Amino acid sequence: MKTALYPGSFDPITFGHIDVIRRSADIFDRVIVTLAVNSDKQPLFSLEERIAQISEAIKDIEQVEVKTFGGLLVRFAEEQKAVAIIRGVRAVSDFDYEFQMALTNRKLSGDIVTVFLAPHERYSYLNSKIVREVARLGGNVECFVPEFIARALSRKFEMEER
């Protein structure tokens, strides 16, 4: 049974992330979408909101679950008996940061490999930050995220305006 972690902040989860999750589920027996608790970033959505969003977004993909983690990712990977960390790489611009993380994680735990997956090219420009920005400025984000997340984004920014 081969388990992989797919870590990130998912603020919010996008069609690009979901595409990578589907590809991971084709390769591994169990995929844990792993939500970082203590990221440096100040998130738009709370941890509970993001867990609920991810759970809804992955509900039709077998062998995928969501968990949160704090501390070092490789320690959590060891606890979960994961053999791999999945990262989506969209463009060369992602590479420096991803390579640095992969090599750091390998130094910390030689048993866990990082697997880079390319999402479908239709999502190659997409990230959560862009989605938040478009939604904050009143743009339609339904081509970037599931409809229920697009609605949650609208509600969030409407509340902020009040």
Which residues does the annotation mark as catalytic?
A: 17, 41, 90, 128
Range in contact with ligand PNS (rule: CB under 6 A) among 53-61, 100-108, 112-120, 146-154: 100-108
Q: How far apart are CA 127 and CA 139, in angstroms?
A: 15
CA distance 101 to 19: 21
The C-alpha atoms of residue 7 and residue 13 are separated, in whole angstroms, by 11
Rounded Cα–Cα distance for residues 67 and 32 (Å): 7
Task: Using the structure block, give the residue that is written with the tokens 């440096």.
Answer: 40
State the nearest-atom distance from the C-beta of 130 to ligand PNS, in Å. Answer: 13
Of 63 and 127, the one with the shorter C-beta distance to ligand PNS is: 127
Give the residue with the Cβ less far from ligand PNS, 7 or 16.
7
If binding is defined by CB under 6 A, does position 8 make contact with ligand PNS?
Answer: yes
What tokens appear for 49 in the block? 């909101």
Which residues in this chain contact ligand PNS in the complex, by CB under 6 A? 7-9, 36, 39, 72-73, 101, 104-105
